[in-house]
Every structure is written in structure tokens, then in C-alpha cells.
Amino acid sequence: MRVTIFGASGLLGKALMQEWSAQEQCNDLVVGLSSRDSDLRDAQRVLQAVKETRPEWIVLAAAFTNVDECESNPELAFAVNRDGAINVGKAAKEVGARLLFLSSDYVFDGRKTTPYETGDARNPQSVYGRTKAEAEIALLELLPECCIARTSWLFGTGAKCFPDTILKLAASRPALDVVDDQRGCPTYAVDLARAVIQLCRKSATGIVHVTNAGDCTWFEFAQEIVRNAGLGATVRPVSSQQMARPAPRPAYSVLSAASLRALKIEMPSWRDALPRYLEQRHRGS
């Protein structure tokens, strides 16, 4: 199988490249493209890259993911996350490639109290969420057989993420304040990458929710990070109002695993993933 990954230099992209190359008896030919190789906003460059790599599958992991910066620069956010995704979708259609698009829990409004199913209505509350929701709609219309893989609370090595921030703060402060009224599913990039590989191999179509099993608040996540790392900092719960940010966050964005289980793919729990992340971070890989 020939695979082209857009966003290969990002947190998930690096994990995808590593995990695909680590697969035993893997005959897949994987090409990773960074934003320097192909700017999603340039439709001609995207098409050229796809024609040159001749993929059977395209994994679109590239995105403008700083949700607060998206609020202050919506034009760039839509140009990359929506229009860029459409450019990749059109290129995939022209060469007959399958497409897997990474989307987000931010397409939901966070008002549910039970896990979101794939068919629940989109109602994004932030610019970032709107860019992803509109990209989903456009891609499903353009490529009805594409796969939309929604994930959440991504963490891993090689890029900025919540655990990395907590570890750095906990090493220099006696106490940390972390919001305790937002609940979701932390997802380790390595586990997500392995699931994405399986989705491609199973020729998955439609919307799939792909997160580590289990859920928690950011406060609970931070507590586990500090405890697993053996640090002495105290983690204190606070409200979102006390830690106001430019972009609204879903209060509840737990994604149901039903769609993933239907494909016979299981994800380990985030509590299982956290020590593996810490080990990988310690190794510096």
C-alpha cells in the first residue's frame, strides 16, 4: 500500500511515520510531507505532491491546531483547516486515492453528558471547531467514501502538548491550578497512529471516533501526570471561568468508542498510555 501523509512533521505525523516504519512485515511505501514540502493552501502544489507520490491512501494530519490563535486569525484557520482539506480532497479524487482526515471533538458544543456518537449533530462553538466541521461536511460531499477520524486531547513527544506543559510547570512550581469542569478523552499519538494504520488497512469509510479509552477532566489528567512522574507539586482544581481563554472549550467532549469497536479496533486506556508517553519522553524519542 502506498501512503502519503500530510503533516508528517507534526505531533501525530511523526508518530505515524515511526509506527508505520515499525510495522513487522510491512510492505507499505509511506511518504511524509511537511508544510514546507506542500502548503495545503496551494491547490496546485498539493495536487503536484499527490501526483508525484501516487498514493492509494492519503492521511491528512496537517492542521492549524492552536485553538486560541484560530480565534484571532480566523482567515488563516479556515484557509488551512477547511480550504486546505478541500484541496487535498480534490487531489485525492483526481488520482483515485482514498482519504483519511483527522478531525476533532471541537465539532461538538459540549452540552451532552453522555459520550458523543458519530451521528450526533455538529455544533462547534469556536473558530477551530467550525473549520473542522465545515471541512468534514465538504469532504464527505466531495469523497463519500472518505474516512473522518475524530480524536481529542492529543498528546505525545516532539511537540507542545498538555502533559509536557504540566511536567515543566510541576518541576518549577509547588502548586498548579488546572480546570476541573472540562471532561474529555486524552489520546496518545502513538496509539492514535496505530489505530489510523488499522483504519487504512481495513478501508474504513465514514466517521469514526478514535481516542484512548476512558475519560477525565484536565485536573484529573494533570494529577495523574504529576503522580506518574513522581513530582511533588500540588494540583488544584479551578473553573474554566477562573482560567479564561480566547477560544471556548467544550465542557464535555467524550467521544463514544462504538464506531471503532464496530471495526474491531480497540484502544488502550489513557491511564495505560500515560506511562508509555513518559518513558518515550524520558528517552527523548
Digits of tens for pLDDT over the chain (285 positions)? 999 999 999 999 999 999 998 876 667 899 999 988 889 999 999 999 999 999 999 999 999 999 999 999 999 999 999 999 999 999 999 999 999 999 999 999 999 999 999 999 999 999 999 999 999 999 999 999 999 999 999 999 988 999 999 999 999 999 999 999 999 999 999 999 999 999 999 999 999 999 999 999 999 999 999 999 999 999 999 999 998 888 999 999 999 999 999 999 999 999 999 999 999 998 885
Q: Which residue has the cell 484571532?
A: 72
> In this predicted model, what pLDDT tens digit does every residue of 206-252 receive, in sequence order?
999 999 999 999 999 999 999 999 999 999 999 999 988 889 999 99
Question: What number of other Cβ atoms are within 10 A of residue 57's Cβ?
Answer: 23
pTM for the predicted model, two decimal places: 0.96
> In this predicted model, what pLDDT tens digit does every residue of 31-45 receive, in sequence order?
999 988 889 999 999
Please identify every residue annotated as catalytic: 128
Give me the CATH topology for the region 2-160+186-212+253-269. Rossmann fold (3.40.50)
The strand pairing partners of 281, in sequence order, are none
